[in-house]
Amino acid sequence: MIHFHSFPFGALSLKQDFISSNIPTAEEMKQLTQFIQKEFESLDWIREKQVPIVAIGGSARNVVQIHQSLVNYPISGIHQYEMNFEEINYIKKHLLSLEFDHILRTEGLSKDRADIILPAIRSLKSFIHLLMQRALY
């Protein structure tokens, strides 16, 4: 491994630090996004990378499972499942259109992640967006 970094935050701590209820307000998402972008942009070495992002962990798994449910994906399993920025954005918009009790019943989403899935998606989207911008230069 040449470069690596472990950020001092995750979906749960982002939720605790920036979001006061189960559904974030527009202002809370703005502050969360600014924090995440600042953290990601602090990695100078990431600027020249053009590599796939491999997501691991419960939130990543839930994002895939939600997407598979929404598109009626015919095969169960998440390994090597590929998604693009627009598909992740589609999931975010879908979840934001729901009341929290409907989010809790979203196919593919673990109930214990219902309150942290939006900060997790925001983190993923911010990182992808950063790499997409870097690829344009």
User: Is residue 119 included in any domain, yes or no?
Assistant: yes
Does any domain span residue 68? Answer: yes
DSSP 107: T
Q: Whole-angstrom Cα distance, residue 49 to residue 65?
A: 28
Q: Give 77-115 pLDDT, tens digit per residue.
A: 888 899 999 999 999 999 999 999 999 999 999 999 999
3-state DSSP percent of the chain in helix, strand and coil, to 5: 60, 0, 40
pLDDT at 11: 93
Residue 6 domain-assigned (yes or no): no
| Cβ density class 14-43: b for 16+ within 10 Å, e for less | bbeebbeeebbeeebbeebbebbeebbeee
Residue 133: pLDDT over 80: no
In a domain, 75, yes or no: yes
Which two three-digit tokens encode residue 13?
């701590």
Domain-embedded: residue 1: no
Query: What is the average pLDDT value for the chain, to the nearest integer?
Result: 89
Q: Give a yes or no: residue 20 inside a domain.
A: no
How is residue 34 written in tokens?
Answer: 């600014």
| pLDDT for residue 134 | 54
Q: Which residues, including other chains, have CB under 8 Å from residue 61's CB and lie 6 or more apart?
A: 78
Least trusted range by pLDDT, from 27-36, 42-51, 52-61, 63-72:
42-51
pLDDT above 50 (res 136): no
CA distance 60 to 63: 5
Residue 44 banded pLDDT, cuts 50, 70, 90 = confident
More confident residue, 15 or 74: 15
Domain count, the chain: 1
Instruction: Report if residue 4 sits inside a domain.
Output: no
- % the chain with pLDDT above 90: 64
Look up the domain containing 41 and give its range. Answer: 11-15+25-136
Cβ atoms of 47 and 90 closer than 8 Å? no
| CATH number of residue 56's parent domain | 3.30.420.150
Average the pLDDT over each of 49-58, 59-68, 123-132 and give the range with the smallest value.
Answer: 49-58
pLDDT tens readout for residues 13-31: 999 999 999 999 999 999 9
**Is 70 among the domain residues?**
yes
